[in-house]
Chain A
Amino acid sequence: MTVGAIASLVVGVVIGFVGQRSRMCFVGGIRDYILVRDTFLLKGMIAFGLVAWVAFPLGGLAGGVPIAGFGRPVFMTLLGSAIGGFGVGYVSILANGCPLRQHVLASQGTGSSVYYLAGFFSGVVVFQSVVSPLAVRYLP
C-alpha cells in the first residue's frame, strides 16, 4: 500500500511534467477540434485510450495483476455514470479544462485554477455530506 503511494507520487510528477509541456487536456481535444479543427490534443486523448487498451492485457501477460473484471451495469449505476459523465464534460469545458489540466494550470500560477482546486476539494465535503446521502436515500 505504501508502494502505491510512492508510485502514485512518481506517476503524478511524470504526468504533471508531461502535461505541462504538452498542455494535455482530456476534454480540450474535442473542444479544439470543434472550434478550430485542431487535432493536437484530440490525438493525445485517442493515443491515451489506445495505448491503455493494448497495455492492460499486455501488462497482465507480463506478470502484472490483470483486470479482475467490472460489475455488471444496472440501471441505477448506469444513470449515475451518465449524469456524472455528462456533468464532468459540460462543466469542465466551462471551467476551461479537465481536472488534470486544472492541476497543471494551478501549478504554473493560474489564479482561477487555484480557486478551482479549492472548490474541487471542497466539493468532496459537499459530495459526502449532501449528494451521496441523497443518492443513497432516493436511489435504490
Chain B
Amino acid sequence: MSDAGRGRAVQEERRRPGLRVSGIQAGVVMALAAVAAGEFFEVRPPDAYGICMACHGRDLLDWLVNNWSSARWPVSQASLVFPLLTTVGVLIGGFTAAVLSGEFRWHRARKPLKSFAYGVLVMNFALLAAGCATRLLLRTAAGDLLGLAGFAAMVVGVILATYWLRWRALR
C-alpha cells in the first residue's frame, strides 16, 4: 500500500470508529474456534477440519448437487448428512461486520476474468493439497506431516510470488 493509500485508510478508520480487532486477537479467536469445532462439535472426520474455506465449500456444493441430482460427488465424512456451512457463515459474518462499521461498499471488478481464473486455480491447488491456506496451517498445528509439507510449500510460493510482484512493480 502506498503512503497516500495508508493515510486514506487511517483517515477512514478515524471517521468510522468500529470494533477494532488486531491480527493477534483474530488469530487466537480463529484458532480456538477451529479447534473447538473439530474436537467438540463434530466437524470431523477428517482431523483438523475446523476451518477450511476450500474443502467446506466443496462439501457444500457437492452435497447440494448430490441432493438435487443422481450425481455422487465426493463429500467429506463430516458433511455426509448435512453440509458444513462455514462458507455461508463467513459471508454472513463479514457482511454484518462491514455493514456495522460502515465499510460495506460495492467496488466494480476491473479484471473479472482474471479474478475468476485465480479462483479456479486456487480451488484446484487447495483440493490437491487437501486444505486452503488456513487448513494447511491448522493441520501443521495438529501434527500432520503432509500439512507441514503443504504449508512449507505455500510459504515458498508466497515468498516467490511477492518478490515477483515487487520485481514487476519496480521494473
Interface of A toward B, CB cutoff 8 Å: 1-22, 24, 26-27, 29-31, 34-36, 40-53, 55-56, 59-60, 63-73, 77-78, 80-95, 98-100, 102-124, 126-128, 131-132, 135
Contacts and interface: CB of A to CB of B under 8 A. Distances in A.
Interface residues of B, number: 123
Given A15-B51, A98-B134, 19 more contacts: A13-B90, A16-B92, A19-B94, A21-B21, A48-B31, A78-B149, A81-B129, A82-B150, A82-B153, A83-B128, A84-B150, A87-B125, A87-B157, A88-B133, A88-B136, A99-B122, A103-B91, A119-B117, A123-B121
B45 to A, nearest CB: 7
B26 A19 contact: yes
A60 B38 CA distance: 11
Nearest to B74: A128
Interface of B: 1, 18-45, 47-48, 50-51, 53-54, 56-58, 61-62, 73-74, 78-98, 101, 103-113, 115-130, 132-134, 136-147, 149-163, 165-166
Given A15-B29, A112-B107, A122-B120, A88 B156 contact: no
Contacts of B92: 12-13, 16, 107
A42 to B, nearest CB: 8
User: Majority SS of interface residues in chain B?
Assistant: helix
A51 B113 CA distance: 38
User: Majority SS of interface residues in chain A?
Assistant: helix
Contact of A124 (B44, B98, B123, B162): B123
